[in-house]
Amino acid sequence: MKPSRVFTVLAALATISCVGKTTDTSAPLDIQSPGSWTARAPMPTARQEVAAAALDGRIFVIGGLGAGAEPVTTVEVYDPGTDRWEARASLPAPAHHLAAAVVDGRLFVAGGYAGRVGWTPLATVYEYDAARNSWATRAPLRTPRGALALVALDGRLHAVGGSGASATGAHEIYDPATDRWADAPPMPTARDHLAAVAFQGRLWALGGREAFLGTQYAAVEVYDPATNGWFAGTPLPTARGGLAAAVLGDRVFAFGGEAPLRIFSATEMYEVAGTRWIGKEPMRTPRHGAGAVAVGNRIYVVGGGTEPGLARSDANEAYTP
């Protein structure tokens, strides 16, 4: 949905008491080992709909929507060891709802939207050069889109989902050695604002939505490169978009998200042995459009919106299972 229509709908609903209601999880709760959250140094620039990835043990938070819902070029890097932030070279152009991933020690960002009103889907792909602290343009996506997910798997990047004129199940694979994208079997469920991770040698696509006021999905769909096909995984406990996800060891974690009238504080873990999702200690700051990145024995959830729609945050919170 175009942002101008989102603003109109949210304004019309502002008198309804459930707007902005915080929801945890409907999954069974882990009472014995819920894990814990700690507040870390806040991000210097409050943003939402960011891209985030870890490179050399540091967390890059890239682009997003800043003050006044303006798209930004901001790139800030967090060092978990020192609990400090520093600025890095800005993106070549402002973008929000973009995606990031690291493959073989190389950081890439892809897609997103340009513009504050009347968002324009992007096909741009950039690679960060750490030695020069600069960005270089790489081969563009075949399908321009924002609110997509980008995952590194077997030395390649997989760009899945997102939306241009509408939500898509597009799945493209990038080979860094040749700087080329190729089409791959699409996701069974077309969606944007999804999360995705690499786990057990496969790509896991989690949640997402058709549109802001459209269908919200609990679907977990898994791409297996060995068969070049998708299969259904255990659905999330609650359908929602705007969530973040990360892998720590042999576990998948999903965080936050939004539905039209709700925002989520949920921390959920996929239990492989039980093939089920279980609830953990909820986030201190409920958010959507945040980044989740695992470094060491913690997952850091950075930035995001604190209300449905636009409500940027500088939150940086670390979860220890």
How confident is the model over 135-163, as pLDDT tens digits? 999 999 999 999 999 999 999 999 999 99
How confident is the model over 210-221, as pLDDT tens digits? 998 899 999 999
Segment 178-186 mean pLDDT: 98
Segment 195-209 mean pLDDT: 98
pLDDT band at 22 (very low <50, low <70, confident <90, very high): confident
Segment 90-117 mean pLDDT: 97
14 pLDDT more than 60: no
Its CATH architecture, for the domain 3-316, is 6 Propeller (2.120)
Q: What gap in Å lies between CA 140 and CA 151, rounded to an integer?
A: 16
Q: What are phi and psi of 222, to 5 degrees?
A: -120, 125
2 pLDDT more than 50: no
Q: Which two tokens stand for residue 112?
A: 């997103």
Whether 61 and 106 have beta carbons less than 8 Å apart is answered as no
Q: How close are the terminal C-alpha atoms of the chain, in Å?
A: 36
